[in-house]
Amino acid sequence: MNNFQFHNPTRIVFGEGTISRIGELTAHYGKSILLVYGGGSIKSTGLYDLVRKQLSASNVTVHELAGIEPNPRLTTVNKGIDICRTQGIEFILAVGGGSVIDAAKAIAAGALYDGDVWDFFTGKASIKQALPIGTVLTLAATGSEMNGNTVISHWEEKLKRGAGSSHLFPTFSILDPELTYTVPRNHTVYGSVDIMSHVFEQYFSLTENTPLQERFCESILQTVIENIEPALVNPNDKAARANLMWCGTMALNGGQISLGMVNDWASHGIEHEVSAIYDIPHGAGLAVIFPNWMKYVYKERVDRFAQYATRVWGIDAAGKTEDELALAGIEATRDFFTRIGAESTLADFGIGEEQLDRMAEEAVRYSAIGSFKTLEKNDVLEILRMSL
Amino acid sequence: MNNFQFHNPTRIVFGEGTISRIGELTAHYGKSILLVYGGGSIKSTGLYDLVRKQLSASNVTVHELAGIEPNPRLTTVNKGIDICRTQGIEFILAVGGGSVIDAAKAIAAGALYDGDVWDFFTGKASIKQALPIGTVLTLAATGSEMNGNTVISHWEEKLKRGAGSSHLFPTFSILDPELTYTVPRNHTVYGSVDIMSHVFEQYFSLTENTPLQERFCESILQTVIENIEPALVNPNDKAARANLMWCGTMALNGGQISLGMVNDWASHGIEHEVSAIYDIPHGAGLAVIFPNWMKYVYKERVDRFAQYATRVWGIDAAGKTEDELALAGIEATRDFFTRIGAESTLADFGIGEEQLDRMAEEAVRYSAIGSFKTLEKNDVLEILRMSL
């Protein structure tokens, strides 16, 4: 276990009906707010009206930025920053999934920065302050509701980049599992893949002596695996939706499950290049890439992959070499993703070889990626080829 | 899973050598501080000198309250409150284990309260504000370093009571596993029993649909079980000490591992009555009482106890009824406590029947205790008798 520091100030308000607290919680932070949301599903579900009504009752003045894209774009973030500056916005309320929350975070940082907000994503500047934000989560996936990370796409340049800061932790997040009942089947699947991928990036680590952290990771993986199919069979399954939601938050709340471990994040880096160009859902891209990353890197630490196979998938070790066990665990991962309905190849999205070289090039633009196994351009290219 | 709210603002600074940050972290909160510590072991280990030197270098003016008892007493807390009031203390720094931290918390609350600080422990008043505190943890056990709870003894009245408030979360806690190398064997054992007991109080719950929470609990239990013996064999085992320390914090950091579950805490309540009168170490009392509590209540939910036996102790379910499995898990708990050197009966401390009735009476003074099984005076008396 390495040394670490941990501080997570986000207040979580979890459970059925907690949406009714949105007015009171928001009013505590500001009377002039920017409400950020996505493509309008919150209008068809009635959530929008509910939120607006609660905010009115708390005498909060609301400005709006609608239409956040599934891969939120810099141009949209800049629109939000303009509103914040011209309207004297004190607080940003994100109602949606990870894309909406990430956009809100970028707006919050950009609103208090004189330069171009993209500077934070290219490493040209670091975030020194941000407007406070709050979130109402509508998709179990991202963890963004309880961490300081944001990922934004520069659509014109086909770049997708992340930034992080302690100033970006939401002040509060409302997690009402009922709000996820209407999530379409495919996004329920992609969300769960995203959750599992967040855990993988932390769990497959070279850091020694982290037994509690490994078990926390395995706990989340097992719980997602148990709960995704019930949620697909019955989208209103209260228990399954609540478990998936809490797994998503715990999987990426400032790295708490893996404190003292070196994380990898190479698969996320590779996937970002795919969705930067092809605009596919993040979780869908991860389902394609992660099992191939696993196959490519598992020999770095066969023991961890063997442990994964036995503890998470319950694969019997008897009669198997450690290598066979490790491969069986990877196979189980791929089979599971396929069984729940995720795509397994880039071809499933009509993606061919054309841009592979560019994606590999961009993935290592600033440096080689990954820590479990350091990946240079050639390595990334190979993983992408395996994913075709 | 029930609705819940979670907010834990404590900053954790974990790892070897992190004690060197004490001056900088403290100076951020105050220039006039009260340093609270216990019986002087921090002087013999050199920790005291190190802390004073760091504080001096950061120009912090230090007042001291030494001699906090293993079961910290109200009279001592009141001495601390007097110092805070007369010396204009801005910040309290606790260097020690749970007792020292709990005393510091009580002082922090009492210093800003006009009435008697004991009011917070009898329910006569609730904590509305407190001086900020920081901690340097020297014993893996309590969780007090990352939660808002405190337990204090009124020695003259033979009462031991707890209080809690969001104002009592430490601003920061330094967790340097190296500081626990010098913990004597018996207190290493009692600390681990305390950690496991904190988990038991949360894990044995009637709340349905909490798979992630249960696994988090099991993760801590398994990790403590794996690491206690290495730490006993080699007190300087860096890995084991680090794992025990992190388990202790995660086991009771504002209830994070069991969010949405109803907790029990009856065994803690019963133990408090024992140590209020006989002044035995808290973890020692828990090792005696918990397995008896388990035997007394397990039929309320045999399935959870059977799960505990298989998942935590790896007991083979084949050929056993659920009841037999549950009892085997309880037996394994008792055997383990005995094997690591904890006492198994009250008689081991020279405690007989004399005060049993009084302890049972006091345990239910305000109401019946527990939620897994609600315990009236007769139930408590029976558990105490089983513990003789």
pLDDT value at position B24?
96
Q: Assess whether A33 and A162 both reside in one domain.
A: yes
- Measured in degrees and rounded to the nearest 5, phi and psi for residue A335 equal -60, -40
Q: How far is B267 from chain A (nearest CA, A)?
A: 25
pLDDT value at position A252?
96
Mean pLDDT of B200-207: 98
Q: Which residues of A touch B5 (CB under 8 A)?
A: 11-14
Contact B212 A243 (CB under 8 A): yes
Contact B246 A1 (CB under 8 A): yes
Q: Dig out the tokens for B161 from the structure.
A: 């009571």
Report the C-alpha gap between A104 and A102 in whole angstroms: 5
Q: Dig out the tokens for A87 from the structure.
A: 């309207």
Query: Does position B321 have pLDDT exceeding 90, yes or no?
Result: yes
Query: Which positions 225-264 of A are in contact with B (Cβ < 8 Å)?
Result: 226-227, 239, 242-243, 246-247, 250, 259-260
Q: Assess whether A48 and A174 both reside in one domain.
A: yes
Q: Which residues of A touch B222 (CB under 8 A)?
A: 211, 215
Whether A378 is in a domain gets the answer yes
Q: Assess whether B168 and B207 both reside in one domain.
A: no
pLDDT value at position A317?
96
Smallest CA–CA distance from B170 into chain A, residue? A7
In chain A, how many domains are there? 2
Predicted confidence band at B222 (pLDDT cuts at 50, 70, 90)? very high
What's B239's DSSP letter?
H
pLDDT value at position B285?
96
Q: Assess whether A156 and A255 both reside in one domain.
A: no
Size of interface A-B (CB pairs under 8 A): 113
Which one, of B254, B184, B174, B258, lies nearest residue B221 by Cα? B258
Whether A123 is in a domain gets the answer yes
Domain boundary among B179, B203, B223: B179
Q: What is the pLDDT of residues A233-271, one digit of tens each?
A: 999 999 999 999 999 999 999 999 999 999 999 999 999
Report the C-alpha gap between A353 and B152 in whole angstroms: 68
- Characterize the bridge pairing of strands A172-175 and A4-14: parallel
Contact A9 B7 (CB under 8 A): yes
Whether A201 is in a domain gets the answer yes
pLDDT value at position B280?
92
- A157: Cβ contacts below 8 Å, ≥ 6 apart: none
Contact B8 A8 (CB under 8 A): yes
Question: Chain A within 8 Å of B162 (Cβ-Cβ)?
Answer: no
CATH of the domain at B219: 1.20.1090.10
The chain-wide mean pLDDT, for chain A, equals 97
pLDDT value at position A217?
98
Q: Assess whether A172 and A246 both reside in one domain.
A: no
Smallest CA–CA distance from A178 into chain B, residue? B3
Q: Which residues of A touch B14 (CB under 8 A)?
A: 3-6, 259-260
Residue pair A32/A90 in contact by the 8 Å Cβ criterion = yes
Residue pair B62/B35 in contact by the 8 Å Cβ criterion = yes
Report the C-alpha gap between B150 and B103 in whole angstroms: 7
Question: Chain B within 8 Å of A367 (Cβ-Cβ)?
Answer: no
Query: Does position B210 have pLDDT exceeding 90, yes or no?
Result: yes
DSSP H or E stretch at residue B37: strand B32-37
Contact B239 A10 (CB under 8 A): no
Whether B1 is in a domain gets the answer no
Tokens 């014993």 appear where?
B139
Q: Which residues of B touch A212 (CB under 8 A)?
A: 219-220, 223, 243, 246-247, 250
Q: Assess whether B141 and B116 both reside in one domain.
A: yes
Report the C-alpha gap between B330 and B294 in whole angstroms: 7
Q: How far is A377 from chain B (nearest CA, A)?
A: 35
What's A353's DSSP letter?
S
Q: Assess whether B134 and B231 both reside in one domain.
A: no
The chain-wide mean pLDDT, for chain B, equals 97
Contact A246 B259 (CB under 8 A): yes
Tell whether ipTM is more than 0.95. Answer: yes
Whether A146 is in a domain gets the answer yes
Which one, of A291, A296, A321, lies nearest residue A306 by Cα? A321
Contact B215 A223 (CB under 8 A): yes
Q: Which residues of B touch A8 (CB under 8 A)?
A: 8
Q: Which residues of A touch B7 (CB under 8 A)?
A: 9-12
- B331: Cβ contacts below 8 Å, ≥ 6 apart: none
Smallest CA–CA distance from A146 into chain B, residue? B7
pLDDT value at position B17?
94
Three-state DSSP at B79 gives helix
Domain boundary among B137, B161, B179: B179
Contact B216 A219 (CB under 8 A): yes
Strand partners, B61: B32
Q: Which residues of A touch B17 (CB under 8 A)?
A: 3
CATH of the domain at B97: 3.40.50.1970
Q: Which residues of B touch A248 (CB under 8 A)?
A: none
CB atoms closer than 10 angstroms to residue B58: 15
Query: Does position B201 have pLDDT exceeding 90, yes or no?
Result: yes
Q: Assess whether A148 and A192 both reside in one domain.
A: no
Report the C-alpha gap between A195 and A252 in whole angstroms: 8
Indicate if the alpha-carbon torsion angle B272, B278, B281, B284 is positive or negative.
negative
Q: Assess whether B210 and B356 both reside in one domain.
A: yes
- Measured in degrees and rounded to the nearest 5, phi and psi for residue A138 equal -120, 5
Contact B15 A7 (CB under 8 A): no
Query: Does position A222 have pLDDT exceeding 90, yes or no?
Result: yes
Whether A4 is in a domain gets the answer no
Query: Does position A40 have pLDDT exceeding 90, yes or no?
Result: no
- CA atoms within a 13 Å half-sphere pointing along the CA-CB vector of B359: 29
- Characterize the bridge pairing of strands A91-96 and A133-137: parallel
Tell me which amino acid residue B331 is: E
Tokens 């069984």 appear where?
A339
Tokens 């949360």 appear where?
B202
Report the C-alpha gap between B292 and B272 in whole angstroms: 15
Question: Chain B within 8 Å of A106 (Cβ-Cβ)?
Answer: no
- CA atoms within a 13 Å half-sphere pointing along the CA-CB vector of A148: 22
Strand partners, B174: B13, B136
Q: Assess whether B147 and B207 both reside in one domain.
A: no
Would you give the end-to-end CA distance of chain A in angstroms? 37
Tell me which amino acid residue A316 is: D
Domain that holds residue A30: 11-179
Mean pLDDT of A298-313: 98
Three-state DSSP at A264 gives coil
Q: Dig out the tokens for B257 from the structure.
A: 């591992």
pLDDT value at position B40?
81
Closest CB to A212 among B4, B208, B223: B223
Which of B2, B3, B222 has the highest number of chain A CBs within 10 A, making it the mutation to test binding with A? Answer: B3
Question: Chain B within 8 Å of A217 (Cβ-Cβ)?
Answer: no
Whether B3 is in a domain gets the answer no
Q: Which residues of A touch B148 (CB under 8 A)?
A: none
Report the C-alpha gap between B164 and B254 in whole angstroms: 10
Whether B2 is in a domain gets the answer no
Three-state DSSP at B170 gives coil
Indicate if the alpha-carbon torsion angle A302, A254, A161, A368 is positive or negative.
negative
Q: Assess whether A235 and A106 both reside in one domain.
A: no
Instruction: Provide, for chain B, the percentages of residues in helix, strand and coil under a 3-state DSSP scheme, each rounded to the nearest 5.
Output: 55, 15, 30
pLDDT value at position A33?
98
Smallest CA–CA distance from B221 into chain A, residue? A212
Mean pLDDT of B167-176: 98
Domain boundary among B131, B156, B179: B179
Tell me which amino acid residue B13 is: V
DSSP B121-138: HHTSS-------EEEEE-
Q: Write b or e for each residue in A67-82: b if 16 or more Cβ atoms lie within 10 A of its Cβ, otherwise e.
A: ebbbbbbbebbbbbbe
Q: Assess whether B38 and B98 both reside in one domain.
A: yes
Q: Dig out the tokens for B321 from the structure.
A: 């009824």
Predicted structure pTM score: 0.97
DSSP H or E stretch at residue A178: none
Three-state DSSP at B34 gives strand
- CA atoms within a 13 Å half-sphere pointing along the CA-CB vector of B141: 26
Q: What is the pLDDT of residues A140-192, one digit of tens each?
A: 999 999 999 999 999 999 898 999 999 999 999 999 999 999 999 999 999 99
